Structure 1
Amino acid sequence: MELAEIMRLNEGRGLGHTLGIELVEATPDRVVMRMEVGERVQQPFGFLHGGASVALAETVASVGGLLGCPPGKAVFGQEINANHLRPKQGGALVATGWPLHRGRTTQVWQIEIAGEDGKLVCVSRCTLAVVDARQ
């Protein structure tokens, strides 16, 4: 799938839109996205909600996975884990992901999420199922 088609499918809708996730760079081998840490992604005490980090990580993996799929194939999140390394209040996050494995039926992506200062906030690994696009 081409990047323009992915962007068109997500334009103005979906969880990424709701969370304010912005695409910075995307190739089949590297995806970079950005997300502001504001009210929509904070827990009640003003810190980044861990679920928002996980959603950001899966969005990175999914875009990269789609870009790396053969024609007629699509990807769906199958498993994701995340280690939250430090709290974050305000500012922005930059998530960078790359494939560790691209197989016929699965892909595995590594995602690092850092603050603008470069300090890691979260690391995640996401397994994607590769399926027929018509499913």
Structure 2
Amino acid sequence: MEPTTTERLRASGIPEQYHPFFAERGLGGLAEKMGIVFEEMGPEHSVARMPVEGNTQPAGLLHGGAHLVLAETLGSIASNIAAGPGKMAVGVDISATHQRAITSGWVTGTCTALHLGGSLCVHEVVMRDDAGRRLSTARITNMVVDRRG
């Protein structure tokens, strides 16, 4: 039997207070496929984890794009929460610098707001390994627009 929306949100670590938000908008299939699980969620500070296993490139390292998926998931969700009712945030820029490779374990992304405005939200996301070593640093900018339909 297919899990319910509530079961899927709980499995992804989405706090109960945000279930109505995600029931309406959805979490996004990619975050679920990548195994991203949230530990904290809010517009100014969010934390999520992702397994290395299943998200590697052919050489066995965590794929650089996986870093960006984690960063964009965190920054986009934080920006959409900040945008509020009737608004939505859409990504306009993302970049990352990779400092260290990882081949196993978990990656933890910590998302911190640099700017939460009425038209732009900017977040920095730092990814670390289980030992707390910095793996990569990303910056994501989202534009806040009126929600259609």
Given the two structures, how large is their TM-score scaled by the length of structure 2?
A: 0.83
2:100 maps to what in 1? 86
Selected match of 1:4 from 19, 38, 41: 19
Partner residue of 2:86? 72
The DSSP-based 3-state class of the residue aligned with 1:116 is coil
Structure with greater proportional strand content: 1
Q: Structure 2: which amino acid aligns with 1:45? A: A
Counterpart Cα distance in 2 of 1:5 and 1:120: 34
CA contact (8 A) 2:83 2:118 kept: no
In structure 1, list runs of 5 or more residues that go unmatched.
Answer: none
User: Does residue 1:56 correspond to 2:70, yes or no?
Assistant: yes
User: Residues 10-61 of structure 1: CA distance to partner in whole angstroms, max 9, x if unpaired?
Assistant: 2xx51101111111110221100000000x2100011000000001000000
1:7 Cα deviation after fit: 3.7
Higher mean C-alpha deviation, range 112-121 or range 68-77:
68-77
Task: Name the larger-Rg structure.
Answer: 2
Counterpart residue type for residue 80 of structure 1: I
Q: Residue 27 of structure 1: SS of its match in structure 2?
A: coil
Question: Is 1:96 the equivalent of 2:114?
Answer: no
Task: State the partner residue of 1:30.
Answer: 45
Structure 2 unpaired stretches of 5+: 1-16
RMSD: 1.4
Partner residue in 2 for 1:16 = 31
The residue that corresponds to 2:13 in the other structure is: none
Aligned-partner Cα distance in 2 for 1:128–1:91: 30
Task: Tell which has more relative contact order, 1 or 2 (C-alpha 8 A, sep 6+).
Answer: 1
CA displacement 1:73-117 (0-9 Å, x = unmatched): 111111000000000010001000011011221110010000011
Contact between 1:96 and 1:113, CA under 8 Å: does it hold in 2? Answer: yes
TM-score by length of structure 1 reads: 0.91
Whether 2:125 is the aligned partner of 1:111: answer yes
Residue of structure 2 equivalent to 1:121: 135
SS of 1:42's equivalent?
A: coil
Residues 31, 52 of structure 1: CA spacing in aligned structure 2 closer, same or farther, 3 A cutoff?
same
